[in-house]
């Protein structure tokens, strides 16, 4: 019997995406634009944390935000209230953004007047971690109500992130969440990860997080 040709589509897709991501990253580097890819599950406080971040950094950088979602413009409208440049990206049902989609977002946003571009990825702990968007740094938010075992259940997300924000620490007394244990689990997945316990509601921990981010942007542009 004649053999049937088998094509590993997934590997091909990832290889193509990685090339496109590297090209986008190089282009942004040349233009002095830092791109942060922000990921989390739905309801982690991503948009609220982002608003706090913008408020802390808006006098230091010209900020542009791409809000990715399956539908609606709720998040982009919320971000625009901070004064930051913002556009909404509809993914057409896709649960993540890849490098090509991010490039389209960058073109739609316009980066001539942007130093710090932020992609708020689709709320999901699986798909977004699989695709390099061309970002300078990957950041994720884990909220206290989600539990301290998430690094064990979603290892890739924690492996690809440069920083992890543990949000909603203001509700720690009401949840069985072990801060030291979650840090241990994160470091098991990614020993180099920076961890920032924060509360987007009260502002606690935001200064330490934004100080780190400010340095990353400065280093990227130098």
pLDDT at position 10 is 53
Q: How far apart are CA 40 and CA 46, in angstroms?
A: 7
Task: Please answer whether residues 193 and 161 qualify as being in contact, where contact means their C-beta atoms are separated by less than 8 angstroms.
Answer: yes
pLDDT at position 49 is 97
Q: How far apart are CA 12 and CA 90, in angstroms?
A: 25
In which region does residue 205 sit, left (phi positive, over 0), alpha (psi from -120 to 50) or beta (all else)?
A: left
Tell me the average confidence (pLDDT) per consecutive run of 10 residues in the chain, 222 residues long. 54 84 98 97 94 97 90 83 92 84 95 96 92 98 98 97 98 98 98 98 98 97 88
Q: How far apart are CA 169 and CA 190, in angstroms?
A: 22
In 3D, which of 47, 171, 174 has the Cα closest to residue 118?
47
Task: Please answer whether residues 124 and 44 qualify as being in contact, where contact means their C-beta atoms are separated by less than 8 angstroms.
Answer: no
DSSP letter string, 42-109: TTSSHHHHHHHHHHHHTTTS-EEEEEEESS-SHHHHHHHTTT-EEEEEE-TT-SS--HHHHHHHHHHH
Q: Which residue bears the tokens 């942060």?
A: 36
pLDDT at position 9 is 46
Task: Please answer whether residues 174 and 168 qualify as being in contact, where contact means their C-beta atoms are separated by less than 8 angstroms.
Answer: no
* Fold held by 9-221: Rossmann fold (3.40.50)
Q: How far apart are CA 80 and CA 217, in angstroms?
A: 21
pLDDT at position 91 is 80
Quote the radius of gyration of the chain (alpha carbons, Å): 18
pLDDT at position 3 is 63
């Amino acid at each position: 019997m004649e053999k049937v040709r088998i094509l590993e589509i997934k590997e091909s897709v990832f290889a193509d995406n990685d090339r496109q991501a590297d090209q986008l990253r190089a282009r942004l580097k040349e233009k002095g634009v830092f791109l942060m890819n922000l990921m989390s599950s739905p309801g982690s406080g991503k948009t609220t944390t982002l608003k706090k971040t913008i408020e802390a950094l808006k006098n230091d950088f010209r900020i542009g935000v791409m809000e990715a979602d399956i539908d609606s413009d709720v998040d982009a409208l919320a971000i625009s209230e901070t004064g930051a440049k913002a556009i909404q990206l509809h993914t057409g049902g896709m649960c993540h953004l890849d490098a090509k989609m991010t490039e389209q977002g960058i073109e739609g946003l316009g980066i001539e007047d942007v130093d710090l571009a932020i992609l708020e990825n689709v709320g999901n702990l699986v798909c977004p971690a699989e695709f390099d968007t061309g970002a300078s740094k990957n950041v994720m938010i884990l909220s206290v109500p989600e539990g301290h075992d998430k690094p064990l259940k979603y290892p890739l997300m924690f492996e690809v992130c440069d920083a992890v924000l543990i949000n909603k620490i203001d509700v720690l007394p009401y949840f069985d969440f072990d801060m030291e244990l979650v840090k241990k689990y994160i470091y098991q997945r990614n020993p180099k990860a920076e961890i920032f316990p924060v509360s987007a509601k009260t502002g606690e921990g935001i200064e330490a997080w934004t100080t780190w981010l400010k340095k990353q942007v400065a280093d990227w542009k130098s």
